[in-house]
């Protein structure tokens, strides 16, 4: 099976956080993981913040960025999904950034796994629920 993952999930592969076991289970579960290219700067920004606030050293941050960049994730251009991401954001008052992941999952007919509780809860009672998977349920 395939699944779309976002940066809130991917960071748990490298940094101890709540739901890290579920994130590790996801990466070792045999699913083909997909993400929009947006995940690269979002993930890197999370790691940068952890360096900035002293949770990681710069050396550790660099190792994590290198490891993530070489991970076996199929990255997708935004070009084919940006319109649906924009439309979804307007309709639900959620960010285009978050919708980029969900739009990719819809386009790929799969689930989007997230640890972004606000986004998940905002859409879990909609028809899009079939494309959403809360990290705690992995």
pLDDT tens for 57-105 read 999 999 999 999 999 899 999 999 999 999 999 999 999 999 999 999 9
Residue 64 and residue 67: Cα distance in Å, rounded? 5
CATH of 2-137 given 3.40.1390.10, 3.40.50.720, 3.40.50.1010, 3.40.50.2020: 3.40.50.1010
- Which burial class, exposed, middle or buried, applies to 41 when counting CB atoms under 10 A from its CB (0-12, 13-18, 19+)? exposed
Q: What is the pLDDT of residue 29?
A: 79
């Amino acid at each position: 099976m395939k699944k779309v993952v976002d940066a809130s999930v991917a960071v748990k592969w490298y940094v101890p956080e709540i739901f890290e076991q579920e994130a590790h289970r996801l990466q070792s579960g045999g699913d083909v993981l997909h993400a929009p290219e947006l995940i690269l700067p979002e993930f890197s920004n999370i790691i940068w913040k952890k360096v900035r606030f002293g949770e990681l050293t710069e050396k550790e941050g660099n190792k994590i960025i290198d490891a993530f960049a070489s991970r076996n994730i199929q990255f997708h251009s935004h070009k084919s999904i940006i319109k649906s991401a924009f439309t979804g954001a307007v309709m639900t008052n959620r960010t285009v950034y978050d919708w980029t992941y969900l739009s990719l999952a819809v386009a790929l007919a799969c689930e989007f796994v997230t640890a972004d509780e606000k986004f998940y809860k905002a859409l879990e009672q909609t028809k899009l629920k079939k494309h959403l998977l809360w990290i705690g349920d992995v």
